[in-house]
Structure 1
Amino acid sequence: MKLLCLLKPLSQQHSDLLKATAIVLVIYAVSAIFDLAEHFTRWAAPLDAYELDELPVLMLALALASVWFSHRRMREIKNEMQLRAQSEHALARLAQENQALARHAMQVQEEERRFIARELHDDMGQYLTAIRLDAAALANTADAKAASHAQRIISHTAHIQSAMKGLLHRLRHAALDAHGLLEALKTLVEEWKAQHLNIHCELALDESCNALSHASNIVIFRVLQEALTNIARHAQASHVSITLAITDTATRPAVQLQIRDDGMGFKLTASGYGFGLTGMRERVEGAGGTLHLINENGLQIHVNLPL
């Protein structure tokens, strides 16, 4: 057993110590065999005025000073490494806390979206419908001037209802709750294509992505929603390609969303573009994923969410 312990590989520190000890012993043996000290004394005797015979003492003092300096420096390096390790640990902990806060903020945001959408639909929707019905009744009166004003009220009310419908659609997509992620994405893309007939859009969805968590569904839907909005406003693209699939990475399975367009790419000077991308990145990273941009021949957005 002792032999096995001796055969174990030595640490770098012990190995260096053994090497230094061996070098000292070899120098001592050579000095003893060849009487180097006596030869040095005889050589230095004619130069006694220069006190060369004190060189061994000086060399010993330098060696001791070097040992002290090296030991002190090693302690400083060790302390610096400990402080760095503590800092890295603190940064990792802060990153985890920030991720948890971002995830909580996104959850609160979705709850607020749901609440606002419900209030708009239930309260304001009813009032707008009542205004429209009253205006329609007023339009049937004999007073031509009043009827004209009533028609304008009907038109304005219809415009407000249409705008509110779009706002409700952005706040909370009903298909996401009713039919799942894939159907919601298909509906989102079809509605977007109907509004942008000059842009050809391709959508490829992996059916296995319909069993993702609710949190992942929200992230993917919101990222695609924001990406399509940015493309329509800033990209000047003629072709868009969207792919959603589950892949096996080196560590764990992940869902990957890829959005490509052949537009003018990402420009920092584009108003609202950078803000939208920042919001997408915060949402993805809050869910523990990554968002990577390739700004070449258009813009490519690669989202990776671990399962």
Structure 2
Amino acid sequence: MSSDPLSSSSAGSPPPQSTVRRDLAWVAAVTVLAALLGASFDLSEKAYRFTRGMERFQLDELPGTLFVLSIGLAWFAWRRYRDARREVRHRRLLEEEAERLLADNRRLASQALQAQELERRHMARELHDELGQYLNAISLDAARIRDLSNGHEPEIHRISLGLMQSASHVYREIGDMIRRLRPIGLDEFGLPSALEHCVDGWRERLPDASFSLTIEGDFSDLSDALNITLYRLVQEGLTNVSKYARRSRVELFMVRAPRETPGSAAGAAVPIDEIVVTMADDGPGTDLTKPRTGLGLIGMRERVEALGGEFHVASEPRRGFLFCARVPAHAGLTEPVN
């Protein structure tokens, strides 16, 4: 996981005024203590008597030289302090710019995903309404031709049967395309029903795996962007199971519930209405420290973070795979939904 830029900025910020005053107080205290010790033990006289016999080596000029050296070191430290302050300000500006660019990038990614899903829904409707209608008409006409031939024209009867089979095959293929473009039942019956249908489909495709789906909460007032994000999240997770954990036990949990977080006023708890999606399997797992060539996890993270959520994964070799996404329940409501 990437480090928080705000925490790194605060770590590199200049010390507060209280810390500066405390340090100055320590310097003043040490100086006064040195003066008291010098007065008590007559350090200057002792140093003079020690260096007076070595005047030919100019050691009697050592105190003055050390004083100039201390002034020079203080000037050097002050210059470095100014440079450090300037560098901290520059770093803070760069981090603010990076945060702004990251927010713009996520907003653009969210708009691109919404435009993609809108186009997919439009194409699914066109395929269902236009091509489905004409394919149904072709099938009915072919059945009418078959009935009219009445066995007297074997060639026409055979061709009409072929047309009916071809129309049925194309209709099934279009149905598969529509399901890939737009989840079945998502618009008509809601997110829970669409997820149950999706999991049932994977139960048929992966008979060696076991699936458990638990859904708690009300999902009726979610935005279309959030609905499709949650569905695609589960869909991508199940696709990864089919690739890497075909014989595993998969547990999928989705809940909508408020989560209390510490508030800013008098430590009061602030409830946050959020949706949590967790999927875990006991498959072979993976080493997350190694680079991955696939874009599935990256796409899942981008979808979740584009809506202001959090996405976390955990996995180790031979110890399964788990991902958890937290998304605000109001995400996407401010965006135009068509």
Tell whether 2:95 aligns with 1:88. Answer: yes
- The superposition leaves residues 271-303 of structure 1 with CA deviations (integer Å, 9 ceiling, x where unpaired) of x99333332222112111222223353322222
Q: Distance in 1 between matches of 2:232 and 2:221?
A: 17
Q: Say if 2:206 and 2:246, in contact at 8 Å, map to a contact too.
A: no
Q: Distance in 2 between matches of 1:295 and 1:162?
A: 38
Paired residues for 1:177-188 under 5 Å: 177-188=187-198
Letter in 1 for 2:100: R
Provide closer, same or farther for how the CA distance between residues 119 and 266 of structure 1 changes in structure 2, counting only shifts above 3 A.
farther
Quote the offset at 1:109 in angstroms.
1.4
1:218 aligned partner: 228
Tell whether 2:122 aligns with 1:115. Answer: yes
Aligned length: 295
Tell whether 2:135 aligns with 1:128. Answer: yes
From 21, 33, 39, the counterpart of 2:46: 39
Unpaired runs of 5+ residues, structure 2, are 1-16, 262-271, 330-338
2:247 aligned partner: 237
Letter in 2 for 1:277: L
Tell whether 2:315 aligns with 1:290. Answer: no
From 41, 56, 66, the counterpart of 1:59: 66
Q: Distance in 1 between matches of 2:323 and 2:48?
A: 79
Tell whether 2:183 aligns with 1:176. Answer: no
1:6 aligned partner: none
Tell whether 2:310 aligns with 1:303. Answer: no
TM-score by length of 2: 0.76
Superposition RMSD in Å:
2.8
Bigger CA radius of gyration: 1
Q: Distance in 1 between matches of 2:312 and 2:106?
A: 17
From 157, 164, 172, the counterpart of 2:167: 157
Structure (1/2) with the larger helix percentage = 1
- The superposition leaves residues 126-151 of structure 1 with CA deviations (integer Å, 9 ceiling, x where unpaired) of 33233334444555544434543443
Q: Say if 2:216 and 2:255, in contact at 8 Å, map to a contact too.
A: yes
- The superposition leaves residues 30-85 of structure 1 with CA deviations (integer Å, 9 ceiling, x where unpaired) of 44555443433332222111001110111111111111011011111111211222
Provide closer, same or farther for how the CA distance between residues 60 and 178 of structure 1 changes in structure 2, counting only shifts above 3 A.
same
Unpaired runs of 5+ residues, structure 1, are 1-9
Quote the offset at 1:243 in angstroms.
1.2
From 64, 73, 85, the counterpart of 2:80: 73
Q: Say if 1:237 and 1:261, in contact at 8 Å, map to a contact too.
A: no
2:105 aligned partner: 98
Query: 3-state DSSP class of the match of 1:167?
Result: helix
